[in-house]
Structure 1
Amino acid sequence: MTNTNETMSPEAIAEAEARTRHDLAALYRLIAHFRMTDLVDTHISARLPGTPDHFLINRYGVLFHEMQPGDLVKIDPSGKAVNASDASERVNAAGFTIHSAVHMARHDLACVIHTHTADGIAVSCMEEGLLPISQHALKFYGHLGYHDYEGIALDLDERDRLVASLGSHRAMILRNHGLLAAGRTIAEAFMNIYFLERACQAQVKALSGGRKLSLPSAAVCERTAAQFNREEGLAHAQMAWESALRLID
């Protein structure tokens, strides 16, 4: 799923929305399967192809493991429901701020995931951030943004600063808050949050051992990051996504 400005027929737009709703609901359930939820707080969004910056986000109050395509609310960049039937549906205001910032500025990204896991929050509180101590972490070497904590993300003025912190990356650590990962497809966004979460888990465990850590050389770190970020990564992400879906069948 990609975003383009090309003209799409109403039928094609409806088909794309149905497919996106299905995949995004599945992603919510996968995030629940891997225990990356925080009750009703945190959110995942997906851009709708062929629309003027419309995107889907969860109806506030639905738990991730029970998410259905109909539980996703279509909103515009101002946070208003696009469909009259959705007008009474409530979305998380902080979720809107974070996700609308990325979707409005980064049309190359189709999906944005934000989490509050214990290990993600722990690493977000560490001054050094994500350390290049695991293969999972090296996926993000030189490709990870950091955003300083400003309080609960209710101020729309923060959107510009969020976008500046993300830069050209597809993943970001929100200091003292949690993790954010995005992708050109829903599958790629899933793989990015999965690897970022696993990297944080490994770091917390490694630091808890109280022993001196072994760090690869900068050259090895750069080489590994390049291996992860080659173009065929999209095909690998799709394969992993299709495999992961069997976990929630």
Structure 2
Amino acid sequence: MTVTAIADRRPNLPHYEERVDLAAAFRWTARLNMHEAVANHFSLAVDEAGTQFLINPNMMHFSRIRASDLLLIDAEDPTTMERPDAPDPTAWGLHGALHRRVPHARCAMHVHSIHATVLASLADSTLPPIDQNSAMFFERVVIDGGYGGLAFEEEGERCAALFSDPRVKVMVMGNHGVLVIGRTVADTFDRLYYFERACETYIKALWTGKPLRRLSDEVARTVARQIDDYPVSMGGRHLAELKAILDEEGSTFRG
């Protein structure tokens, strides 16, 4: 599709720019091999209350998702799963609960990425501050140790309740995967990216069998605060660069 054709569609496609950001995040997540076949899901609230949100269509591979493919649903609509284009039941269970119960979770990304899932499989799923990337998550992660099966509505409600502390931006879903929340697609994707990187470093450090050089709580707390207060939107620039790369390659994600 040409740039002109895409532009012509914008007035008839609600929340177009938000859709474009979300589609780009799906495409890049697949490129990083952080997806899982046709499972996993991202969502983004688009109204002030946070209950109306965009989410990926059921059983569509992340690498093919376009802006126009995203579903617009309402967490307060009990008939959602009766729609002919209903989302995956676990996407509704998990993301519906989040957008009903956690207003500050404007965007939510759930994956079974390799290294975060390895962390979630350990008896101690704590991510220690052993480098700058892991330190940025200090005191900003909650570990869910109560996995009860697929994230249908009851499981989704239970998970949503674990985000009561507004500092928490990442849930290590024990025996399952990871769930990351944020204000925007850019903010959330950047956090997802760095959490997976931090997990990879930690898991590979464990492979060596040698003692780890753990940062003090004081230093880790300082790093996490500095990242939170960083004067430039690193997430915004990160996503902008990824979209530029996709555009240069002729990707259809904006369609």
User: Do the structures match in fold with TM over 0.5?
Assistant: yes
Secondary structure class of the residue paired with 1:22: helix
- Contact 2:93/2:157 (8 A) holds in 1: no
Of residues 124, 129, 132, the one that matches 1:132 is: 129
What are the Cα deviations for residues 145-184 of structure 1, in whole angstroms up to 9, with x where unaligned?
Answer: 1212111111x23334212322321211100100111111
Give the aligned length.
233
Secondary structure class of the residue paired with 1:191: helix
1:71 is matched by which residue type in structure 2? Answer: D
Matched, 1:115 2:111: yes
- Contact 1:137/1:196 (8 A) holds in 2: yes
Equivalent residue, structure 2, for 1:192:
191
Equivalent residue, structure 2, for 1:157:
154
- Contact 1:59/1:73 (8 A) holds in 2: yes
In the TM superposition, what is the alpha-carbon distance from 1:231 to its structure 2 partner? 6.3
Equivalent residue, structure 1, for 2:246:
248
Distance 2:210 2:100 in 1: 44
In the TM superposition, what is the alpha-carbon distance from 1:70 to its structure 2 partner? 2.0
| Change beyond 3 A, Cα 1:186–1:80 | farther
Q: Say what the alpha-carbon RMSD is for the aligned residues.
A: 2.3
Equivalent residue, structure 1, for 2:3:
none
| Change beyond 3 A, Cα 1:114–1:79 | farther
Distance 2:157 2:56 in 1: 23
- Contact 2:50/2:100 (8 A) holds in 1: no
What are the Cα deviations for residues 197-235 of structure 1, in whole angstroms up to 9, with x where unaligned?
Answer: 1111111111111111110111111111111111646x2
Distance 2:40 2:95 in 1: 11
Matched, 1:141 2:138: yes
Matched, 1:102 2:98: yes
In the TM superposition, what is the alpha-carbon distance from 1:80 to its structure 2 partner? 4.2
In the TM superposition, what is the alpha-carbon distance from 1:185 to its structure 2 partner? 1.0
Equivalent residue, structure 2, for 1:21:
19
| Change beyond 3 A, Cα 1:184–1:162 | same
Secondary structure class of the residue paired with 1:113: strand
Secondary structure class of the residue paired with 1:74: strand
Secondary structure class of the residue paired with 2:226: helix
Distance 2:36 2:159 in 1: 21
Greater RCO (CA < 8 Å, at least 6 residues apart): 2
| Change beyond 3 A, Cα 1:79–1:194 | farther
What are the Cα deviations for residues 46-70 of structure 1, in whole angstroms up to 9, with x where unaligned?
Answer: 1113577111111112110110122
In the TM superposition, what is the alpha-carbon distance from 1:112 to its structure 2 partner? 0.6
Q: Unpaired segments of 5 or more residues in structure 1?
A: 1-12
Q: Which aligned pairs between 1:3-82 and structure 2 lie closer than 5 A? A: 17-50=15-48, 53-77=51-75, 78=77, 80-81=79-80
Secondary structure class of the residue paired with 2:241: helix
TM-score, structure 1 normalization: 0.85
- Contact 1:30/1:245 (8 A) holds in 2: no
1:177 is matched by which residue type in structure 2? Answer: H
What are the Cα deviations for residues 80-137 of structure 1, in whole angstroms up to 9, with x where unaligned?
Answer: 449xxx9311311112111122211222232110010121110001232212212111
Equivalent residue, structure 2, for 1:7:
none
Equivalent residue, structure 2, for 1:204:
203
Secondary structure class of the residue paired with 1:166: coil
Distance 2:50 2:215 in 1: 45
2:103 is matched by which residue type in structure 1? Answer: H
Q: Unpaired segments of 5 or more residues in structure 2?
A: 1-10, 248-255
Equivalent residue, structure 2, for 1:10:
none
Matched, 1:173 2:169: no
Provide the identity percentage: 27
In the TM superposition, what is the alpha-carbon distance from 1:30 to its structure 2 partner? 1.4
Distance 1:190 1:88 in 2: 29
Distance 1:195 1:119 in 2: 11
Distance 1:187 1:51 in 2: 20
- Contact 1:37/1:115 (8 A) holds in 2: yes
